[in-house]
Each structure stands twice: as C-alpha cells, then as structure tokens.
Amino acid sequence: MRMPPARAGRFILFVLMTLAATAAGAQGRAQFEALIAAHEHGLTPADYDVAALAELAANPATTGRFTDRLHDAFLRYAADVARGRLSPGIDPDWHIRPPPADDIPAIDDIAHLPPPHADYRRLHDALRRYEAIRAQGGWTTLPPGPTLTVGMRVPDVAIARNRLRLTDDYDATLLQADSHMFDAGLDAAVRAFQARHALRVSGRIDDATRAALNVPVEARIEQLAIAMERWRWLPRELGARFVWVNAAEATLRVIDAGQTVLSMRAIVGHSTRPTPSLQGEIRHIVFNPTWSVPMTIATEDLLPKLRRDPDFLARNNFRLFSGWGETAREITAADVDWAAVDPDRLPYRFVQQPGPTNSLGRIKIAFDNPYDIYIHDTPSKRLFGLRTRTFSSGCVRLEQAAEFAAQLLAQDPNGAGLNMQRNLDQPDTRGITLARPVPIYIVYITSWVTADGQVHFRRDLYGRDAPVATALRSARDRPPS
C-alpha cells in the first residue's frame, strides 16, 4: 500500500473505526494500534505487515484472513518489544542474560509487554518527541563559522536559538529583542545542551558544540532506538537494590527502591580494551589489595617498561615470581634479561603490594564474572576531572571507592560495627564477604533520559552501536509487505 501520508493516515483511521465491528473485536483493534505505533519503540511497523493488514481489514470479505495474519504479526511484535528485535549477540561485548520467555507477560496484556523500567518509558517519551521534531522538518544546520559567544550579533545566532528551542534547551518563554543577538538566555541554553552531550560547558558555540548541534534528528532518533533495544535485552527485574555502571557515560550509581542513593564518576576501559557489558553479584570487598598483573597488561604494558627501566618494579612496590603456581619462587628483576623475554611466552608473575601507589588504590570490589573485571580505587584521581574517561584495561575505577564500599556495607549484616577506616589504616590486606550479595549491571547505553526529562547523548566510543544500528536499519528499510 503506497499512498500520500495524509491519505494513508485517513485510511488507517477508517480501518481502526471498523475493526471493533469485525470478528477481531476490541482486542484486534488494540493489537493493530500497537503495530501501527511500533515506531514509538524504535521498531518498524512494516515488519509486522501493517499495510497488508490494513487492506485486509478494510474488506469485509477478508476479515478471517485479517484475524489470522494479525495473530501472527502480533506474536512477532510481542516478542520484539518484550525481549528485543535483535539478538544481543549482535554486540559481541554484551554478556548480560536476556529475560527468559516465561518472564514475558501474556500477549493480551499489551500495555505491559515493553520493559517495565522507568528508564525505558522515558526513552519512549523522548523518541516520540524527536519523531515529532522530524515530522516538522527537523532542525536547520548551523553553517561553519567562528565561535559564537555572548555579546555577538550575527544571523547564525537566530539559527542556534531556534535549534535549541526545538530540544527544550532554550526557554521558549524568554523573549529576545534582537533575534541575532547572543544574549544570556542563549548562553544558558548552550550550557544546558553541552551538559547533555558531555561537551565542555562554556556557553560558547565552538566547533565541537556546532558539530553536536548539527547531528541530524534522524541520527538522534536512531540512537534513542538503539538504547531502547538494549533495555529490551536486560532482565525485567533488576532487583530492589543494585549497582548500575554505564560505560558509555563512565558513571556508577547505586539504585535503591528506584532511587539513586549514590552516584559518582568512573573510569572505564580504553577503546582497545573496552569494558564489556555483564551482570553479576558483588560479594567481596578487599581493603589494601594486592594486584596480580593480568597477562595482557604484563606483556603489552609492563614488559616494554621493564626493557627501558629494570628498576620499575622495585620503585613501584612489585614482587616478581618465576611462575604462576604456588611453588613459584620469588626472584629479582636483575635476575632477568628483559630484552630476551618472549612476550608470547612470558613465564613471570608480577604482584604489586598494598600501598598508596598500588594501581587498585586502597579498595577492590569483586563480583562474579569470567572476564576478570572488578571495581576498584585508584591513585590517579586527576583523571576523573576529564569528560572522556576511558583509561583502564577494562576494569572500573571509582572516584569515591570508600563511599561506595560504605554504601554496600551499610545494609549488610557483615558490615555492622565494621570500622572501615581502621581496616584502611592497616598495612596488610583484609577482606570482607557480604552476607547479602548486591546485583551489578555494567551496560553500554549511549542515550538516556533523566527523571526531569533531560535527554542525554554520548559518542559511540567503542563502536558498539554501529552494528546494532545497521541491523535495525536493514529491517526498517525493507520494502513494505
């Protein structure tokens, strides 16, 4: 069915009005309406035969065929909106178990098929807003030019103001006497936009801000759709209290009864050693940990340093062992000809002792996962002041590790009466096992909406959104049935 949008809309409305009187009844109409609105979930109505179904529903002679085909189409839609249009395997770094089929509501419970999370509902609302912007023609591209700032009077200011008004960064109630004047209201709008996109908050429209403003609305809609798809891959029950790490945002949050009770900046993996998406349960907290250097870091990072500087180990409080077994003997760096060591057959184990220079800092938080990923403190506090914080080899470093550990222990029986500072002040390594393990989810989601409706976007630093976008786009671009 190919017709002008206005005529197509009237035809669909006619179909909806007549459906209740057919054998499909009210339930059939509700299912068909859900298929029509599939785009509001980042899905493609064409995948569910909407055009063909409308033709069948409009003809009384094909009502039976309509009912059968609607049933099949809605089964596909229900599975897609509940568990994901794509397999999570499209992202090889996503290792979170999808919701099992028996966790999905019955297909006649249409309103509860999508993920039940507030974050998903906010993304859904944001996608509708951005689709409305697209329907109105999108936004005008800001042409190349000099940095714009308060006090300047140029025509591009009017373009920027209108652009920011569309995404609610500019307060539409403000009146400006001169549309070409960069005033205080526009300065505030630019700062709001920059904060939502993790840009340097300066109030100036520089090259980076101009580029972000000029990202087409279609690209932002796709980014929101990818975020919704990733939420469909998550468990429908995350737990009453859990830890949430978004590698795309480089933040950690503790969520309790739906509220964020602790939030802090984090450092995540570099793009060459990205932090994977996974889930687990935090079970163990270690004070003054040692650090056994993983083989990848030992061969790629530590060995080149030792070839240049054999005293590196002693200066940074490392012990060196001749192997990985319990019977491995301790040796000194001077005993080894580092230039002759084959990195593909490195026989040595490096263990950094507790102390202020230990790479894990003073606290390590361990949880079960097969990728040797954990959360820890760091002596490199200055890195938390950067907007892009991808400096680790995959583990998650915390700006306030002690506060995080205290939050975990505050509600755990094994934390009662524990003097954490006393444990930190001791020179030796000490550990505590939680009596009530805390679920943790490490995700990679480049768009989200805060409780106050602010839509945030981040760059796809790991390139993990690209294959998801391609797969969703291939379905969207398929010719209608």
Q: Which sign does the torsion angle of CA 193, 195, 198, 203 carry?
A: positive
How is 368-402 classified by DSSP, letter by letter?
--TT---EE--S-GGGGGSS--EEESSSEEETTHH
Do 274 and 377 lie in one domain? The reply is yes
Nearest by Cα to 119 from 34, 224, 192 = 224
In this prediction, residue 478 carries a pLDDT of 55
In this prediction, residue 480 carries a pLDDT of 44
In 10 A of CB 153, how many CB atoms? Answer: 11
Chain segment 343-399, per-residue pLDDT in tens = 999 999 999 999 888 999 999 999 999 999 999 999 999 999 999 999 999 999 999
3-state secondary structure of 81: helix
395 in active site: yes
In this prediction, residue 187 carries a pLDDT of 96
Which of these is catalytic: 41, 124, 376, 456? 376
What whole-number distance in Å separates Cα of residue 159 and Cα of residue 210?
Answer: 11
In this prediction, residue 2 carries a pLDDT of 45
CA 320 to chain centre: 39
95 in active site: no
CA atoms within 13 A on the CB side of 103: 16
Boundaries of domain holding 113? 5-131
- 3-state secondary structure string, 188-214? HHHHHHHHHCCCCCCCCECHHHHHHHC
Residue 397 lies in a domain: yes
In this prediction, residue 70 carries a pLDDT of 92
Do 367 and 271 lie in one domain? The reply is yes
Which residue stretches of the chain have pLDDT < 50? Answer: 1-4, 6-8, 10-11, 14, 20, 479-481
Q: Which sign does the torsion angle of CA 403, 355, 283, 248 carry?
A: positive
Do 265 and 123 lie in one domain? The reply is no
In this prediction, residue 1 carries a pLDDT of 43
Do 421 and 334 lie in one domain? The reply is no
CATH number of the domain encompassing residue 424: 2.40.440.10
Q: What are phi and psi of 470, to 5 degrees?
A: -60, -45
Do 332 and 413 lie in one domain? The reply is no
In sequence order, the β-bridge partners of residue 432 are 285
Which of these is catalytic: 41, 124, 197, 395? 395
In this prediction, residue 80 carries a pLDDT of 95
What whole-number distance in Å separates Cα of residue 449 and Cα of residue 464?
Answer: 20
In this prediction, residue 481 carries a pLDDT of 43
CB 348 within 8 Å of CB 320: yes
Residue 189 lies in a domain: no
| Length of the chain counted residue by residue | 481
- Domain termination residue (choose one: 352, 382, 398): 352
Do 398 and 268 lie in one domain? The reply is yes
Do 118 and 267 lie in one domain? The reply is no
In this prediction, residue 65 carries a pLDDT of 87
**First vs last C-alpha separation in the chain:** 8
Residue 364 lies in a domain: yes
In this prediction, residue 3 carries a pLDDT of 45
Residue 192 lies in a domain: no
In this prediction, residue 35 carries a pLDDT of 94
Residue 184 lies in a domain: no
3-state secondary structure of 164: helix
CB 244 within 8 Å of CB 258: no
Checking phi first, is residue 392 left (phi over 0); if not, alpha (psi -120 to 50) or beta?
beta
Do 389 and 441 lie in one domain? The reply is yes
Residue 173 lies in a domain: no
Do 432 and 325 lie in one domain? The reply is no
Residue 479 lies in a domain: no
Do 29 and 95 lie in one domain? The reply is yes
Could you give the number of structural domains in the chain?
A: 3
Residue 337 lies in a domain: yes
In 10 A of CB 280, how many CB atoms? Answer: 22
Do 345 and 383 lie in one domain? The reply is no
Do 69 and 100 lie in one domain? The reply is yes
What whole-number distance in Å separates Cα of residue 72 and Cα of residue 86?
Answer: 18
CA distance to 193, 212, 297, per residue, from 190 (Å) = 5, 11, 41
* H/E stretch holding 256: strand 251-256
In this prediction, residue 19 carries a pLDDT of 53
